[in-house]
Amino acid sequence: MSWDDVTHVQASPSGTAKVAPKRDQAYLIILAGSSMGEMHKIGRDKTVIGRGQKADIRIVDEGISRDHCEVLIEGDKIILHDLGSTNGTFCRGLRVDRHELEDGDKILVGSGTVLKFTYHDKLDEVFQRQMYESALRDDLTKAFNKKYYMDRVESEYAYAVRHNLPLALVTFDIDHFKVINDTYGHPGGDYVLSELSSTVIASIRVEDVFARVGGEEFSIVCRGADLVQAQIVGERLRSGVANRQFVFDGKTIAVTISVGVAAVPNGAIRDAMEFIAAADQVLYEAKRGGRNRVCIWRK
């Protein structure tokens, strides 16, 4: 047997015994619901869960109250406390008012949102976030994937209609993307997709959902935005992309986008699929009308 065939184990220097990371940081991980996979660190004395604008963990779910429940840090204990919610807070299958949480406890709020309470160390946190990112985001652009987008449109649309709140879709497509691929190759096309996505992510709100819904087609779910506000978002994106320099392999690539905007409430839109179709329809109107423009769905 040669030296290269032998695996050698090197002992740690004396007095430097390895210490396992301490799992002492509390987290809530959303296991089911519109925000599935999200991970929230419990780092303050009180963390409110609800659908209201001021909730620390905001969840869109029909059965969740504005301020539904809270997680309290009391000494070395972590307490789940219901805040008088309409449909109740459940843990271990039982409705609770005040409950001391233990590692692994499952919490049910609303019609189908399940959270898991757990303790993690730093490595656990990094791993969990990587799993979340890989499951819900597109590798190249870091935008959410189509499945996540469809789920969010369904839940956001139902919530907006039920509470008569504005909601908009800003859908856009890269103009002449096939020409970009043919001219600069797929590496050039990938560069454009990645850089464009970075530009968009930097210009939208944290609560907006930015997703890649096709090869070169993207959409943004804008909670609380009416048609006028969404049109402003669309125009800002269009002009931002048109005025940005995309330089690949020393060559400048001209990039523009066509944008379609739809918003609810709107009596002509009856469900989430019609909502998506409305934004798509005016997107293609923008492309047929000469590209590098924003079209609005006004029926």
Q: Give the pairing type, strands 257-264 and 294-296.
A: parallel
- Average the pLDDT over 261-266 and give the result: 95
Both tokens of residue 119?
A: 């303790």
Which one from 70, 156, 195, 216 is the annotated catalytic residue?
A: 216
The pLDDT value given to residue 11:
47
Mean of the pLDDT values across residues 233-242? Answer: 96
Provide the residue type at 262 as one letter: A
- Give the model's pLDDT for residue 82: 94
Tell me: the pLDDT tens digits for 141-190? 999 999 889 988 988 898 898 889 999 999 999 999 999 999 999 999 99
Rg value, the chain, Cα: 24
To the query of whether residue 216 is one of the catalytic residues in this protein, the response is yes
Q: Measured between alpha carbons, how far is 101 from 229 in angstroms, rounded to an integer? A: 42
Predicted pLDDT at 126: 60
Percent of the chain with pLDDT over 70: 87
Average the pLDDT over 88-113 and give the result. Answer: 92
What value does the mean pLDDT of the chain take? 87
207 vs 168 pLDDT, higher one: 168
**Taking the alpha carbons of 29, 33, 35, 37 in that order, is the dihedral positive or negative?**
positive
Per residue in 42-85, pLDDT (tens digit) is: 877 899 999 887 889 888 877 899 899 999 999 889 999 999 99
Mean pLDDT of 216-244: 96
- 185: Cβ–Cβ under 8 A, 6 or more apart, which residues? none
What is the length of the chain?
Answer: 299
pLDDT band at 41 (very low <50, low <70, confident <90, very high): confident
Q: In this predicted model, which residue has the larger pLDDT, 278 or 161?
A: 278
pLDDT exceeds 90 at position 296: yes
Q: pLDDT by residue (tens digit) across 193-202?
A: 999 999 999 9
Tell me whether the omega of the peptide bond preceding residue 265 falls within 30 degrees of 0, making it cis: yes
